[in-house]
Amino acid sequence: MTAAVPEDRVVVRALVALKLRLLANGLRHSVQRRVVYLLGCLLGLLFASAAALGLSLLHGRTGAADAAVMLATGVTVGWAALPLFLFSSDESADPTRLTMLPLRPRAMLRGTLLAALIGPGPVLSLILLSGAAVAASGGAASVPFAVLGVPLAAITLVTLSRAVAAGNARLLSSRRGKDFAIFGGLLFAVLIQVGNLASQSVLGRSGGQPDLSPLKPFAAVLRWLPPVSAVDAARSAGDGSYGAAAAQLALTAGLLVLLMRWWSGSLQQLMVTADASTQIDTKGVGRARAARFFPEGRVGAVMQRHLRYAWREPRAKAAVFTSLGMTTVFSVLSVVQGWASVYVVALAGLMLGLQMVNLFGMDGSAFWMVASTIATPAQAREELRGRAYAVLTYAVPCSLVLALGLSAATGQWGELAPALGLTLGALGAGIGLGALLSVFAPYTMPSDSNPMRNAAPGQSGVVMLNSFGSMLGVLVLVLPLGALLAGLLFTDGPAWLLLVIGPLYGAALAALGLRRAASRLLDRLPEILATAVER
């Protein structure tokens, strides 16, 4: 009697084939996606190869093994953290898509692990870890430990990534999970910049070569943490400490077993537990109380709707917090690098004011409900005013906090008033110009979760007009305030007057832009609606 192919093997092959099909179908989606994917893979391969080669050239130098440990640690942190931020953009990372199928967790575990090993991520990690192992190795005795340690570390990293994703699948697939991805991605970018600045300030040069000695106390601890320990096993073997090298490999193997058990338990839990997507919302009372702080009538209702969209809709929230994150990072960099000025806060006025750009395109197909309620010029003005007031409710406090922070960091308290005046002037100019662009040059926001698609195909010109044209337009509109500030500073005049003139100037520009946009909104409603629903 011939043995039949076990069912688990069929499931494993199907999951691997599914991952290959997802990659192929993703590349067939559009030429732009293929170009971006291939270009990203090429750049990643060049970067990883250059980093691995540079680290390999440190072989035999003092501190090379410590640098290898730090690189392996960075790769580990990346694998552990990135699934939390990119969960929704990788269909194969979400195990809840398979929970309705009659699959055993063991088969799902093997199949998804093999599928996760397919792609550019594991390849780039193998290259980086190989370069780290070469830098840390110390002779022929290191070769077998490196040959075992590098693949073991790579498999552990992939397992860590999938275990984290499976353990938090319910959270990451919810709205709160998407919110966490936005906040976490911005925080991760800030931490990368902080680490970059710290490494530049700590690592000096000695005789034209980088001084790696400051890494020694950190590496002494990190080299015993798996899966970094598997890479550092080559160094231990090269130093003749075969017992320590074997222990380092065993630590990583033990972590791999624990991660597999966690992953298997998470899959089992997901397959037998229902989600909470149908729970009743009990926050109505709190929302009713908050509504008392908004103006009555349509303006207050529009403000509430816009703020709720900005808090709940991932793309709108990403736009707001990206603007805040870019301004914050730029401010921190200016302080750390020694060229800080309180006037850097004007960037916040520019970026936050432009949250008025493409208002209706962001609404998507829901804009038809808004359009059906606009029948008179007064209603059009109230719609735009409500959205502008909503932007001001978070733009003004955030600008004030950043201005106070920069003043405290630089000690330029005397420049706080004119800096705030310039910032509020830029904010008003951005609101007025954004309202005009929202009416005259809207563009479609795709409804999928791919972060590479910010607009529908064929609309790159409109996107460029909204993105760069709006920034250039605000800079031109703020030139009179800048000229006035320069004149007051050069003549030792009362620069604090800008705190009065700037908000008035910005309010005038905002009012002019809103009035002009409202006067044409009624006539432009069919075109805007067609653009908003074209997904």
Q: What is the pLDDT of residue 388?
A: 93
User: Does 1 score more than 50 pLDDT?
Assistant: no
List beta partners, residue 206. 209
Q: What is the pLDDT of residue 287?
A: 52
Range with top average pLDDT, 82-86, 117-121, 251-255, 486-490:
251-255
Average pLDDT over residues 228-242: 90
Average pLDDT over residues 289-306: 79
Q: What is the pLDDT of residue 258?
A: 93
Six token digits for residue 18: 């599914």
Q: What is the pLDDT of residue 218?
A: 80
Q: What is the pLDDT of residue 233?
A: 92
Question: Which of 374, 238, 206 has its CA nearest to residue 302?
Answer: 374
Task: Calculate the alpha carbon distances from 472 to 132, 202, 360, 475 in Å.
Answer: 45, 38, 22, 5
User: Does 88 score more than 60 pLDDT?
Assistant: no
- The chain-wide mean pLDDT, for the chain, equals 80
Average pLDDT over residues 100-108: 73
The residue with greater pLDDT, 143 or 216, is 143
pLDDT band at 178 (very low <50, low <70, confident <90, very high): low
Q: What is the pLDDT of residue 338?
A: 76
User: Does 363 score more than 70 pLDDT?
Assistant: yes
Burial of 35 (0-12, 13-18, 19+ CB in 10 A): exposed
Question: Which of 256, 274, 254, 253 has its CA nearest to residue 264?
Answer: 256
Q: Say which residues have a Cβ less than 8 Å from residue 35's Cβ, sequence separation at least 6.
A: none
Average pLDDT over residues 38-66: 86
CB 506, CB 420: distance < 8 Å: no
CB atoms within 10 A of CB 286: 9
Q: What is the pLDDT of residue 278?
A: 46
CB 383, CB 461: distance < 8 Å: no
132 in helix, strand or coil?
helix
